[in-house]
Amino acid sequence: MTSTEKMLACLGLALLTLLVGCARGPELTPPTVLRSPYDASRGDVLFAVAPLRNESGTTVFRPEEVSDAIANALTSVPGIRCLPLNRTISEMRGLGMREISSPSDLEALAEAMNVDGLIVGTVTAYDPYNPPTLGISLALHAGNPVFAAGPELDEIRGAVRDPQMPAPSRYVDSPVASISEVFDGKNHAIQIEVRRYAQGRIDPTAARGWQTYLASMPLYTEFVAHAAVGRLLDQERLRLARARGPGSSR
């Protein structure tokens, strides 16, 4: 085979490889997912999210959209179920609540919805312009004494089931876990998180790539909800580790 023929053969092979790659499309990457801190063998944990209050100083957005994003982020976690935001709003209206302003409101709503955990919070900062900023403060309150003590402790479950035992407090006045953070899109650490979150969720060949999440406030809100819920669940993971004690194998 002459050198010209060899060159043509190599070009043909390269073209064939390129065509096969185009036919297959871009390589797919699984997105990052949140992990539940609870024991999956004991069934799903049920949460509800109350509408977040707006303390950002601006009215250019609807806090319900951020609240809905938090509920959707919780729903995406295996082992955790979250009631739709509309269901929570409906229950609050039925109880005559415009917002949750006291521990008694928390207790009444948690009892009416029969949830393990109730999340309340505020939007502390909101700037939709690229790069965007969204501040979130979340607090997870226990909806029942079992969840407050640690849903994996069998002896607590047995005590709650015992009809001879006095009914304990629902423990909703103090949060079992809480986070507060401003997600500033100019911060490089936040941008690294955005890029990691975008992998597997956006077309890698798109013109903006992962930065699409910085150019769209709804998408950035989706990212922030995912990140905030992840931080809240990390706090729960620490709480349960302390409840199990140093001798636990988990």
Right CATH number for 36-244 from 3.40.50.10610, 3.40.50.720, 3.30.450.20, 3.40.50.300?
3.40.50.10610
- Supply φ then ψ for residue 210, to 5 degrees: -65, -20
Question: What does the alpha-carbon distance between residue 96 and residue 209 come to, in Å, rounded to a whole number?
Answer: 46
Question: What type of residue sits at position 144?
Answer: N
Please name which of 119, 38, 115 lies closest in space to residue 72, comparing C-alpha atoms. 119
**Are the beta carbons of 99 and 54 closer than 8 angstroms?**
no
CB atoms within 10 A of CB 4: 8
Averages of pLDDT over runs of 10 residues in the chain (250 residues) are 57 55 66 90 91 94 95 96 96 93 89 94 96 97 80 44 44 82 97 95 82 95 98 94 67
How confident is the model at residue 242, as a pLDDT? 84
Domain boundaries defined on the chain = 36-244
